[in-house]
Structure 1
Amino acid sequence: MPTITYNPDSMPDLSGKVILITGGTGGLGAESALRLAQKSPAHIYISGRKAANADKVIQQIRKAGSKTPVTFLPCDLASLVSVKQAAESFLALESRLDILMCNAGIMATPPGLTADGYEIQFGTNHLGHALLIRKLLPLLETSAEAADVRIILLTSLGFKMHPSGGIVFDAVRTKQEFSAFGGWIRYGQSKLANLLYARELARRYPAMTSVSVTPGVVNTGLVENLGRFNRAFVWITNLGQLLKPEEGAYNQLWASTVAKATLQNGQFYEPVGVLSTKLDKASQDAALAKRLWEWTEEALQAYL
């Protein structure tokens, strides 16, 4: 087990801040909500698909002694209609947003399509989050005029498993059925998109701090819900490296709350707070990041 020295108790007071966590109803998102609630933010919103799971998280937060208001925001990232509705519901409730933690995601799933016809991992991990960010950008920009606004996108060192060229734009409206490791190739493509989108957000909106982070390899439901072959692949290739769920949340907590001057806008961080040097050509390709942004804008146009 790797040694983690970060202590989330070191996070500063978050009074007045409004926080939105996608996938906040389980796993790392729930752990993040639990930890952040201890620092007295004005409000935490947790998005997900199941209200029952949200209720459990809220009960845990109350049991831990926090009185921070916590609201469930129904959202299915695999449906752009659902994401649009979630964003509009949030905008109707709040006049500011300080921390947007894009935590939710799926990993190495079988071939499939979203409700909108996109490859399921790319559509969920990238497009769903991109629409949420775009819908909330005006509020984020307004909030940044007088506050330290953060957008945290979860990625993974698994981005390196992306297909040749990084993102196969001509094929993301198919199931992209590759080899036996196709689920991982599609996953890598989606996680590369998260990393590149954070870079482009930082370039286009420098008043806000946008970074991508990897939680490390964490023993959460994402791993446990994999098929036997893929679960074995994770265990064998990461012997001695799996983190506990509470440790897996540390990097996103750090990025959400550390002093602004500590962060380099648009960069990718490994646990905890380590500026990554494990980048490949595609992850540093400014032209690819720009193309991703423009492609995404066109794909989302009907929902903006």
Structure 2
Amino acid sequence: MPNIEEFVDFDAERDIPSLENKVIFVTGGTAGLGRASVIALAEHNPAYIYFTGRNADAGKSLIAEVQKINPSVGAKFVKMDMMSLASVKQACGTDFSHDRLDILMCNAGVMFIPPGLSKDGFENHFAINHLAHAMIIQQLLPVLTKTAAMPDSDVRILSLTSTAWMAHPSNGVTFSTLRTTQEGFMGSNFRYGQSKLANIVYAAELARRYQDSKINFVSVHPGACATDLVTTISFGHRILTKLIFWWMGVSIMEVHQGRLSPLWAAAGAKKDELVNGGFYMPIGRFSDDRLDKTAKSPELAEALWTYTQDALAKF
């Protein structure tokens, strides 16, 4: 994993072109990288930005910030409980009202939260980090596909992942126990790791299945960033995380630095610079060669696709 000193030169203010007429949807937009991304994108004159979250006050605050930066940009807070697939589906159906969507940034996530199940009975990390985003993609894919068919379109779906995908269990995703809390030795690492692996595998599988849609699907690691995901985990996990980063020679970035990788993939990179289905490290580094055999396994991709579609079909 590169240190910040090795990052490809990219400046969001300088390098993101005009986003005029574009509609954007960001999950987890009220804090951390999501909030920073919404603010940065608003500076480039998109038509409208939707962003999800749970805290209505934080949503109002961000809308005010967007209006202060650029009064011409429309913004809407979409209240969404990502522990409930029914809530996710309903929010997409009732709160999204545009006839086009150009950028979908799947940013929301949890890390090392206590063992537990979602409201639908799935392991928490897998439910929020993967299944909820799979539902969002499913619900918004028709308008994304419609937009991609328009002249001069540039439609992108990016899934934020993490190098913690490497902590996945030996079989990649332990499907047989996803309806349990998956506790045990190294359980928290396995739970988070398999959910981040799922982000990578699912993005690549979407690219394969929808290769004729003219949509770019990518997974993006933003870098080790001091967001609430890191600062709110347990003391033990913070120490372990810092030790791992130290051992890997990784610098922990501030939010304004961590936002750059997803912003590059969402709007900074030229359309033909992106490898559809690719995994990217900061910034703009196509990094499929860093993935292991499990992450590239067609069998895992097929199993994840089937499990996911079966889960979503119940809602």
Q: TM-score, normalised by structure 1?
A: 0.96
Is there any run of 5+ residues in structure 2 with no aligned partner, and where? none
1:59-84 CA-to-partner distances (Å, cap 9, x unmatched) read 33233345311100111111111101
| 2:28 aligned counterpart, secondary structure | coil
Alpha-carbon distance, 1:58 to partner? 2.1
Q: Which runs of 5+ in 1 are unaligned?
A: none
> Which residue matches 2:256?
246
* 1:235 corresponds to which of 230, 238, 242: 242
Provide the C-alpha distance between the structure 1 equivalents of 2:251 and 2:60, rounded to a whole number of angstroms: 31
Q: Which amino acid aligns with 2:75?
A: V
Aligned twin of 2:180: 174
Distance 2:264 2:94 in 1: 28
C-alpha separation in 2, matches of 1:55 and 1:47: 12
Could you say what secondary structure the match of 2:4 adopts?
A: coil
Determine the structure 2 residue equivalent to 1:12. 17
1:273 aligns with 2:280: no
Q: 2:308 aligns with which of 292, 296, 301?
A: 296
- 1:170 is paired with a residue of what secondary structure? helix
Structure 1 residues 149-187: Cα deviation after superposition (integer angstroms, max 9, x where no partner): 1000001110010011100111101100021x3111100
Give the one of 285, 295, 298 matched to 2:297: 285
Correspondent of 2:68 among 59, 63, 69 = 63
Is this contact kept in 2: 1:18–1:44, CA < 8 A?
yes
- 1:26-175 to structure 2, matched below 5 A, reads 26-91=31-96, 93-146=97-150, 147-175=153-181
Aligned AA for 2:243?
I
Aligned to 2:223: 216
Aligned-residue Cα RMSD (Å) equals 1.2
Question: What are the superposed Cα offsets for residues 240-295 of structure 1, whole Å, 9 maximum, x if unpaired?
Answer: 51011011111111011111100000010000000113211111112211211111
Letter of the 1:175 counterpart? T
> Per the alignment, do residues 65 and 17 of structure 1 end up closer, same or farther by CA in structure 2, a change over 3 Å counting?
closer
Deviates more, 1:116-125 or 1:78-87: 78-87
Count of equivalent residues: 301
Identical columns (%): 43
Question: CA separation in 2, counterparts of 1:152 and 1:113?
Answer: 26
